[in-house]
């Protein structure tokens, strides 16, 4: 594997390393070692670890260190962070950024099919190796897709500012200083880590991560438990007011009734809840048996009835395609309660019955033969008299 020799991009990044590298420094994809060797010359730098996947590059850099008797720098063979431990004040990365050319393999030049895939891997793991107020000095090219790089930064709850740029034939090079957002810092204090973008709605953004929880056991040692969590925060461009507060308030009420994902903790601008591992109802039901399908539908009708009794409308229960997951053990879990509202005329059951009626063909394949007109009439009766007896009439009609 060839060693990437310094070029315009290396020298552009080197200037920023001279200005900004400090503390404990990690030089990722060190290649010739130019960035790490530059960093150790700064009095602000305590030590440098230079890593590269290329064994040949590591051996050559180690030989240079030995010959010059350099003391502040160590080298390690590693594919990105694979063999790296600990946290750093400064992380430097000049990734391979060219889109892959067919039939040509060169890890020092090509960053994946589109040029940004290795950068994506880097951003997915970098936060766990960067101290709270640390910085990343990151170089990329317009050949990689500038908008995509900025999207990857934002999707990992990081923020950037441009330090320098250089136009050269066919491309422009950029060096960004990347730091953690206030939200990421706050979440990491609460031991929520490995955060990355999951989904974007009309009003909110959801990130997925893990939370380290320590349980005290009789021996007084802490037993580590890893929980998959989701973090929901408001979209910066959303004009909706009070949605986070509204959803938190309803989750606190509904969790007591066994409805919704478990709420762990919350602040003014976000909340953290248990990530729902499962399959969307409309996908799950295609492979489910008749008995499994009926059991889940009945469970959901009972959850809807509980919400009706509480005087809350979840909204969108007539088309909950993205809001119901089926977890292990065939337990249905509803998500997304941001539009919940207090009402004297709850319609969760009646809306969900309409959804069931629209699934007539799919349910018929399982031997669940719906009488759509009868269900509609029973739904109307329930609307007039929303009692447990009215609900049981609907359930009995479905299972008959």
Pairing type for strands 324-327 and 279-280 reads: antiparallel
77: left (phi over 0), alpha (psi -120 to 50) or beta: beta
Other CB atoms within a 10 A radius of the CB of residue 169 amount to 5
DSSP 80: T
Find the DSSP H helices in 40-145.
55-68, 117-126
State the Rg of the chain over Cα: 27
The pLDDT-based confidence of 251 (bands split at 50, 70, 90) is very high
Q: What per-residue confidence (pLDDT) applies to 266?
A: 96
- Summarize the confidence of residues 369-385 as an average pLDDT: 95
Task: Give which of 316, 347, 351, 338 is closest to 254, Cα–Cα.
Answer: 338
- Summarize the confidence of residues 257-281 as an average pLDDT: 97
The sheet carrying 192-200 orders its strands as: 192-200, 204-216, 222-234, 270-274, 263-267
Helices 243-255, 290-310: crossing angle, 10 deg rounding = 110
Residue 54 has pLDDT above 90, yes or no: yes
What's the CA gap between 139 and 118, in Å, rounded? Answer: 13
Q: What per-residue confidence (pLDDT) applies to 98?
A: 60
- φ and ψ of 216, to 5 deg: -80, 130
List pLDDT tens digits, range 82-117. Answer: 999 999 999 999 998 666 545 444 444 454 566 689
The pLDDT-based confidence of 134 (bands split at 50, 70, 90) is very high
Q: What is the DSSP string of 125-156?
A: HHGGGEEEEEEEEEEEEGGG-HHHHHHHHHHT
What's the CA gap between 287 and 293, in Å, rounded? Answer: 9
- Summarize the confidence of residues 351-372 as an average pLDDT: 93
What's the CA gap between 337 and 248, in Å, rounded? Answer: 8
For the four alpha carbons of 180, 183, 187 and 192, in that order, the dihedral sign comes to negative
Q: What per-residue confidence (pLDDT) applies to 338?
A: 92
List pLDDT tens digits, range 170-184. Answer: 999 999 999 999 999
Q: What per-residue confidence (pLDDT) applies to 102?
A: 52
Q: What is the mean pLDDT of the chain?
A: 92
List pLDDT tens digits, range 283-315. Answer: 999 999 999 999 999 999 999 999 999 999 998
Structure-token pair, residue 29: 């994809």
Find how far residue 163's CA is from the centre of its chain: 27
List pLDDT tens digits, range 206-233. Answer: 999 999 876 545 555 556 789 999 999 9
For the four alpha carbons of 107, 113, 115 and 117, in that order, the dihedral sign comes to negative
Cβ contacts of 171 within 8 Å, gap of 6 or more: 141, 142, 143
Element (H, E) at 255: helix 243-255
Whole-model pTM: value is 0.87
């Amino acid at each position: 594997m060839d060693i990437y020799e310094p070029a315009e991009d290396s020298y552009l990044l080197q200037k920023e390393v001279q200005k900004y590298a400090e503390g404990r420094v990690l030089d990722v994809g060190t290649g010739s070692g130019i960035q790490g060797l530059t960093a150790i010359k700064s009095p602000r730098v305590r030590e440098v670890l230079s890593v590269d996947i290329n064994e040949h590059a590591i051996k050559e850099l180690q030989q240079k260190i030995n010959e010059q008797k350099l003391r502040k720098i160590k080298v390690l063979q590693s594919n990105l962070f694979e063999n790296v431990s600990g946290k750093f004040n400064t992380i430097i990365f000049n990734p391979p950024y060219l889109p892959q050319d067919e039939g040509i393999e060169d890890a020092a030049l090509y960053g994946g099919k589109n040029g940004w895939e290795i950068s994506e891997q880097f951003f997915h793991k970098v936060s766990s190796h960067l101290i709270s107020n640390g910085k990343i000095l990151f170089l990329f090219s317009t050949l990689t897709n500038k908008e995509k790089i900025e999207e990857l930064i934002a999707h990992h709850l990081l923020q950037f500012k441009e330090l320098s740029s250089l136009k050269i034939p066919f491309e422009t090079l950029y060096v960004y200083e990347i730091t953690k957002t206030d939200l990421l810092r706050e979440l990491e204090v609460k031991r929520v880590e490995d955060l990355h973008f999951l989904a974007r709605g009309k009003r909110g953004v959801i990130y997925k991560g893990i939370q380290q929880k320590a349980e005290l056991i009789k021996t007084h040692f802490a037993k580590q438990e890893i929980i998959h969590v989701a973090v929901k925060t408001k979209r910066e461009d959303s004009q909706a007011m009070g949605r986070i507060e509204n959803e938190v308030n309803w989750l606190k009420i509904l969790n007591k009734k066994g409805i919704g994902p478990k709420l762990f903790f919350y602040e003014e601008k976000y909340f953290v809840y248990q990530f729902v591992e499962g399959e969307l109802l409309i996908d799950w039901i295609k492979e489910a048996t008749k008995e499994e399908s009926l059991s889940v539908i009945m469970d959901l009708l009972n959850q809807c009835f509980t919400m009706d009794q509480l005087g809350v409308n979840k909204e969108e229960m007539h088309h909950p395609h993205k809001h119901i997951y089926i977890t292990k053990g065939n337990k249905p879990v509803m998500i997304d309660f941001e539009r919940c509202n207090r009402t004297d005329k709850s319609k969760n059951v009646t809306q969900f019955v309409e959804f069931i009626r629209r699934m007539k063909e799919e349910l018929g394949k399982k031997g669940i033969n719906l009488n759509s007109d009868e269900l509609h009439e029973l739904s109307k009766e329930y609307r007039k008299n929303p009692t447990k007896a009215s609900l049981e009439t609907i359930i009995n009609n479905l299972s008959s």
